[in-house]
Amino acid sequence: MTPLAQAVSPLRQRMLDDMRMRKLAGQTQTAYVRAVYRLAAYLDRSPDTATAEDLRRFQLDMVDHGTSPITVNATITGLKFFFEVTRQLNRDIHEAAEAAQIDKRVSMHTLRHSFATHLLEQKVDIRVIQVLLGHKKLETTSLYTQVATEILREVVSPLDTLQPS
């Protein structure tokens, strides 16, 4: 094994293997790896931990720093490959949905929405959910929380608790 091969993380190796299986051109592979590398450098952590908000901020950062539209689009294409094809997680999600006989379309976002909604239904504070989802803004968290009608029926108006005088 060469020293270079030893330095490659399992995640990067999986991406390289995925690109090789799909017979992507060498330049395409280089561009995709570069896109993921740039995201990791921007985040200062593993790219597979990125949230949708992280990706949005990364794109805005590229635009703010004068990155050309062609490079932005190429980067987005590389990241799309990384997130859709390479932490197998997407495949696992689809297999789990099939095993559970869920015939609706599912994705990572489905899990995030479900996770947030279930926590909310268990009356977990929205700020705790915000931290667990890794959001900086509460408004972002509120997009993930779909309040169940059962919870809404349990809400008691403060006016209903007043005693008649």
Reading phi first (left if > 0) and then psi (alpha if -120 to 50, else beta), residue 53 is in alpha
How is residue 93 written in tokens? 């999600």
Domain-located, residue 68: yes
Domain-located, residue 94: no
Between CA 51 and CA 41 the distance in angstroms is 15
Between CA 104 and CA 95 the distance in angstroms is 13
Residues of the domain holding 118: 103-153
Domain-located, residue 160: no
Residue 110 has a pLDDT of 77
Please indicate, yes or no, whether residues 65 and 128 belong to a single structural domain of this protein.
Answer: no
Residue 9 has a pLDDT of 81
How is residue 2 written in tokens? 């060469």
Q: Which of the four pLDDT bands, split at 50, 70 and 90, describes residue 1?
A: very low
Closest Cα to residue 144, out of 105, 116, 108? 116
Tens of pLDDT along 89-123? Answer: 666 777 788 888 888 877 777 777 888 888 888 88
Domain-located, residue 97: no
Domain-located, residue 164: no
Please indicate, yes or no, whether residues 112 and 55 belong to a single structural domain of this protein.
Answer: no
Q: Report which listed range, 41-55, 110-124, 147-161, is most confident.
A: 41-55
Please indicate, yes or no, whether residues 75 and 115 belong to a single structural domain of this protein.
Answer: no
Residue 146 has a pLDDT of 65
